[in-house]
Amino acid sequence: MLDKNHAADIFQRIRKHSTADEVEALFFGTNSALTRFANNTIHQNVAEENYAVSVRTVFGGRTARATTNKLDNESLKRVVQASENLAKVQQPDPDLLPLPEADKSVRPTRPSRYFEQTAAINPQQRAEVVGKIVSAARKRGLTTAGIFSTSESVEGIFNSRGVAEWHAQTSSEVSITMLAADSSGWQKANSPNVANLDPATLAEVAAEKAQQSAAPREIPAGKYTVILEPAAVLDIVGFMFYDFGGMAILDQRSFLNERVGKKLFGDNIDIWDDVGHPLQSGAPFDGEGVGRQRVQLVDKGVVKRLVYARGTAEKMKHSEYKDKVGPIEPTGHGFPLPNEMGEAPMNIVFGNTREPRTIEQMMASTERGVLVTRLWYIREVDPYEKILTGMTRDGTFYVEDGKICGGVRNFRFNESLLHMLSNVEEMGLPVRASGEESFDMVAPAMKVREFNFTEVTKF
């Protein structure tokens, strides 16, 4: 695997090839494998090793990027030239900041996210785990589909002002769908440490959901109390966090236009961005090498702060919005430059629930409602009211008098996040959750009143 010393050597070669005022090199790559199964068979089984360097050059307010996965001298020379050629033809941007200098402040020591045990998993071990999942399916007369993946990856950034950041970590992930004749169940988990995964339990829970939701009946669309499992919560709320960047306000494309400092959600909603949280993952620096700060985005339902890349913070300080957006400072959430998006918080952690409830406790307090395992194909209907549409999937249950009363046909929802997060009646403890529509986060299950189902599908 590419390591920091090798990357540093490559960066020195890049500097020699460059005629730019300033130069930055972003390194990324992976050695990954994914075993995929369906119909109780491993049907796709892949592995990849690929490392790349992305070079950004700067000439007096002009910048551009070029990327290659060939790390020999000729390729490095070519990629530097490509970056310079793209940069030189531009008009200077007076807002473009010089590259950042190395952050000399002492950062908190954080436990490594690299686990040898995860990196060492081989195809036979993945097949063995899948074999056990298939056995669990067969035992119940079900069919299973899913993945078991493991990887080691690197991310690093060097620049001509002395930034030299490096992050290596491992990842592992299991996702399991159990299929019955007319129903299905699903579970997913991931962790940097494969030892934290429990595929056998995930398989059992998914199978239980498939069997419990058999012969789903149709109940009419309408507003229901829903219990959203953590994966469903993260997949829907994930759509709002791109609006928590300062650039989104400067562009006037954010649902937080004119709303920072206002109470948008219920008293029970606290949200942080915290890369250092023990259940989080990823590098502790952003696309310019600036350290990621812990930022409280929402405090008791009030949107308190935005996150900023360096350049965005500078622009915001001189903008007409500067007095309406709370504290303005670089927070280490910028994407690699040049980009149009600016920044976003990508390590979301919901605050600790004051009176956490289990899913069972949430059901017990529900007279009539719907338990949702997973949401699917979520898209934004209205960018300012933050209305999202999507479907339920793989385990949707009717709850009556505190108990599951069988499966129901899947619903389409059209729900405003402003409305949803104002109507959270109960929550679970935040857990590391993983879905398919949004990035992973530390999120709780939620019981939400008046969730807006608008249509019912055929299954």
Partner 1 sequence: MKDIAAWALNVAEQQGASYADARLADDRSRALATKNGKIGGASDSESQGIGVRVIANGAWGFAASDDLSRQAVEATAARAVDIAKASARVKQHDVQLAPEKAVTAEWTTPFQIDPFTTSVEQNLDLLLKIDSELRSVAGVTLAETNMNFRREESWFVSSEGANIHQAKYTTGAGYAAHAFAGSEIQKRSYPNSYGGQWQNKGYELIHELKLVENARRVGEEAVALLKAERCPEGVFDIILDGSQLGLQIHESVGHPIELDRVLGMEANFAGTSFLTLDKLRTLRYGSELVNIVADARQEHGPGLGTFAFDEEGVPAQCTPIITNGLFTGYLSSRETAHAIGANRSGGTLRAEGWNRLPIIRMTNVSILPGEKPLTREQLIASTDHGIYMETNRSWSIDDKRYNFQFGCELGWEIKGGKRVRMLKNPSYSGITTEFWNSMDAICSRDEWVLWGVPHCGKGQPQQVMGTGHGAAPARFRNIKVGSAYSGN
Spatial contact of 329 and 314, defined as CB atoms under 8 Å apart: no
Q: Distances from the Cα of 458 to the Cαs of 26, 148, 219, 309, 376, in angstroms?
A: 48, 30, 11, 46, 15
Instruction: Identify the residue among 296, 304, 416, 425 touching partner 1 (CB under 8 A).
Output: 416
Q: Which residue lies nearer to partner 1 by CB, 284 or 287?
A: 287
Using the rule CB under 8 A, is 212 a contact of partner 1?
no
- Shortest CA distance to 407 belongs to which of 176, 204, 208, 202? 208
- Shortest CA distance to 34 belongs to which of 170, 150, 188, 127? 150
- β-pairing, 387-400 vs 271-273, is unpaired
Using the rule CB under 8 A, is 459 a contact of partner 1?
yes
User: What is the CA 252 to chain-centroid distance, rounded?
Assistant: 23
384's tokens: 């300012």
Piece in contact with partner 1 (CB under 8 A), picked from 192-200, 263-271, 353-361, 383-391: 383-391
Q: Which residue lies nearer to partner 1 by CB, 65 or 310?
A: 65
Using the rule CB under 8 A, is 153 a contact of partner 1?
no
Q: Which residue lies nearer to partner 1 by CB, 206 or 307?
A: 206
Piece in contact with partner 1 (CB under 8 A), picked from 152-160, 170-178, 301-309, 354-362: 170-178
Instruction: Identify the residue among 1, 15, 32, 263 touching partner 1 (CB under 8 A).
Output: 32
- β-pairing, 164-179 vs 222-228, is unpaired
Using the rule CB under 8 A, is 186 a contact of partner 1?
yes
Using the rule CB under 8 A, is 74 a contact of partner 1?
no
60's tokens: 């007096």
Q: Which residue lies nearer to partner 1 by CB, 104 or 318?
A: 318
CB neighbours of residue 184 within 10 Å: 26
Q: Which residue lies nearer to partner 1 by CB, 333 or 393?
A: 393
Using the rule CB under 8 A, is 320 a contact of partner 1?
no
Instruction: Identify the residue among 252, 323, 355, 367 touching partner 1 (CB under 8 A).
Output: 252
Q: Shortest gap between Cβ of 392 and partner 1 (angstroms)?
A: 9
Q: For residue 137, give the DSSP letter.
A: H
Spatial contact of 218 and 456, defined as CB atoms under 8 Å apart: yes
Using the rule CB under 8 A, is 171 a contact of partner 1?
no
Angle in degrees, 0-180, between the axes of helices 73-88 and 4-17, rounded to the nearest 10: 60
Site string for partner 1, 103-132 (x = CB under 8 A): -------------------xxx-xxx-xx-
Place of tokens 């339920």: 392
Using the rule CB under 8 A, is 321 a contact of partner 1?
no
Q: Distances from the Cα of 149 to the Cαs of 49, 136, 180, 202, 203, in angstroms?
A: 14, 19, 24, 15, 15
User: Distance between CA 431 and CA 188 in Å, rounded?
Assistant: 12
Site string for partner 1, 254-283 (x = CB under 8 A): ---x--------------------------
Q: Which residue lies nearer to partner 1 by CB, 58 or 275?
A: 58
Using the rule CB under 8 A, is 379 a contact of partner 1?
yes
Instruction: Identify the residue among 377, 401, 403, 405 touching partner 1 (CB under 8 A).
Output: 377
Piece in contact with partner 1 (CB under 8 A), picked from 113-121, 173-181, 192-200, 316-324: 173-181
Q: How deeply is 203 buried, as exposed, middle or buried, from its count of CB atoms within 10 A (0-12, 13-18, 19+)?
A: buried
